[in-house]
Amino acid sequence: MTPLNLAAINFAWLPILPLMIVAIAAMVVLLAGVRVDEEESEGLGWLTLASLGIAFIFALGLVGRSGVAFAGAISIDGFSAYFQLVILITAAFVVLMSLDYAGENSLPGAEYYSLLLFSTLGMMLMATAGDLIIIFLGLETMSIAVYVLVGLRRRDPRSNEAAMKYFLLGAFSTGFLLYGIALIYGATGTIKLGPIHVALASNMAANGLLMLGLAMLLIGFGFKVAAVPFHMWTPDVYEGAPTPITAFMAVGVKLGAFAGFVRVLLINFGPVSAHWSIALWVLAALTMTAGNLIAVVQTNIKRMLAYSAIAHAGYLLVGMTAAGPQAGSAVLYYLLAYTFTNLGAFAVVVALEQRASISDEIADYRGLARRAPALAAAMTIFLLSLTGVPPLAGFMGKFYIFSAALSAGYVGLVVIAVLNSVVSAYYYFSVIVTMYMEEGGIEVARLAAKPALVAAIGLALIATILVGVYPEPYMSAAANAYQSALSAGMVHTAALLP
């Protein structure tokens, strides 16, 4: 018998095992759920959660590895591993929120969990992209699945309206992104990010075609991260979507979009930062200010958190404006802190929603501290973290972002950011005052019957405190991830040159 020649076996697919697991799981869940009633979809949720756990284990195996796969289309480095892990955690939290919610609201479990996995796959693709086409494919895989998830409450007019708005505006913004990719290809002769970086370091910086393509990329990414003036879809879509999906958009979609945004702009378009830093400065200032000022007058908790998400996109853009390794690391840490804080806040919103009724007005939270003191305390911690109160995760995120911007000389932008943080305290604290100092509100469903949702709130609470109180290992992980992307780009670029 001829011995097996392991050296001859092509292991090129190993770096995409986490992606493959999520994709296969999405198809298995869809097929397994064909004969499952909408009210009995909890088993599909547990299957989805187990699949995410397996993908998480394989993603951990990519930590510390570096290289490229599929002729440079996939980039294997600490950056992609970092984002894959955080995205998988986000999806797992959303599944925990959905186990009871999906059945109570008669959502079709097979489609719900399958689309959730397909969207997660798109986010992970954006994080691992080594060229602009993979970023586009990841963005579309993520977006199309989320368009459907938003409108999955078929009998709810608000959900239908939200899905239609998101689809139409999303398709429009995708056109800008694709035209931008085409123009950049026309200017540089390649879609691979490494060779593009080399081209930009030469005399390409003044190329008009390249600058127009870059501007269109900014518009496409600006829509996905909900930056002003590309934010108009956000409050209506967040309000109309099923609440766990709102959490998924507020956190997961942002993670995927910023993964692509950071890899393209900070890591590979760094040589022309002088051309895009002014545009990002303006976007950051407008996004922070508009998000916070409009959030002040909101009476609906989901719309308020939508404008809050817009404001936080502005803080992240402050870090991207600063550019450089310190700023890149700060952006990655901020995304981690924002993930747990926002997921926890939306988990509390899910806990207050009743079967067959929508109870997402801030007035519904009146007297919550007397009826459900643990729930009110958890929501208070999440809101304080979003405000930026020490020693919670949100404070450390803002501290690192603002420090990086100050080091880069953007004093005026930091002043605007600090003033906006003061404004945000008003609407976050107004919810806390409503919970502790006003009477009325709605009765809270018994949470003892929803252990998965309680687990989501508890884990998010622990992470929000831990990431803030003990930030060093998480900041080190973020710094290593960002530095890994920079180093891997320099090492592998030569091999990818056309």
Residues 169-206: tens digit of each pLDDT: 888 888 888 898 998 888 888 888 878 877 777 665 56
Distance, in Å, from the CA atom of 200 to the CA atom of 188, rounded to the nearest integer, reads 8
- Residue keyed to tokens 């007058």: 297
Distance, in Å, from the CA atom of 8 to the CA atom of 498, rounded to the nearest integer, reads 26
Cβ(194)–Cβ(72) below 8 Å: yes
Q: What does the pLDDT read at residue 493?
A: 47
Flag residues of the chain having pLDDT under 70. Answer: 1-13, 37-40, 202-206, 354-359, 441-442, 445, 448, 488-498
Cβ(447)–Cβ(351) below 8 Å: yes
Distance, in Å, from the CA atom of 47 to the CA atom of 45, rounded to the nearest integer, reads 5
Cα 251 from chain centroid (whole Å): 4
Contacts of 425 (CB under 8 A, 6+ apart): 387
HSE (side-chain half, CA atoms, 13 Å) at 475: 17
In this structure, what is the dihedral angle of CA atoms 82, 146, 338, 132, given to the nearest 10 degrees? 40
Distance, in Å, from the CA atom of 171 to the CA atom of 226, rounded to the nearest integer, reads 15
pLDDT tens digits, one per residue of 424-446 = 999 999 999 988 887 776 677 67
What's the per-residue H, E or C state across the chain?
A: CCCCCHHHCCCCCHHHHHHHHHHHHHHHHHHHCCCCCHHHCHHHHHHHHHHHHHHHHHHHCCCCCCEEECCCCEEECHHHHHHHHHHHHHHHHHHHHHHHHHHHCCCCHHHHHHHHHHHHHHHHHHHHECEHHHHHHHHHHHHHHHHHHHCCCCCCHHHHHHHHHHHHHHHHHHHHHHHHHHHHHHHHCCCEHHHHHHHHHCHHHHCHHHHHHHHHHHHHHHHHCCCCCCCCCHHHHHHHCCHHHHHHHHHHHHHHHHHHHHHHHHHHCHHHHHHHHHHHHHHHHHHHHHHHHHHCCCCEHHHHHHHHHHHHHHHHHHHHHHCHHHHHHHHHHHHHHHHHHHHHHHHHHHHHCCCCCCCCEHHHHCCHHHHCHHHHHHHHHHHHHHHCCCCCHHHHHHHHHHHHHHHCCCHHHHHHHHHHHHHHHHHHHHHHHHHHHCCCCCCCCCHHHCHHHHHHHHHHHHHHHHHHHCCHHHHHHHHHHHHHHHHHHHHHHHHHCC
Peptide bond into 244 cis (omega under 30): no
pLDDT tens digits, one per residue of 110-144 = 888 999 999 999 999 998 888 889 999 999 999 89
In this structure, what is the dihedral angle of CA atoms 22, 28, 34, 38, given to the nearest 10 degrees? -40
DSSP-assigned beta bridge partners for residue 129 = 74
Cβ(97)–Cβ(454) below 8 Å: no
Distance, in Å, from the CA atom of 260 to the CA atom of 280, rounded to the nearest integer, reads 16
Residue 48 to residues 91, 102, 134, Cα–Cα distance (Å): 9, 13, 25
Q: Is the pTM of this model over 0.95?
A: no
CA nearest to 311, candidates 381, 214, 231: 231
Distance, in Å, from the CA atom of 105 to the CA atom of 493, rounded to the nearest integer, reads 50
Distance, in Å, from the CA atom of 234 to the CA atom of 300, rounded to the nearest integer, reads 13
Q: What does the pLDDT read at residue 39?
A: 64
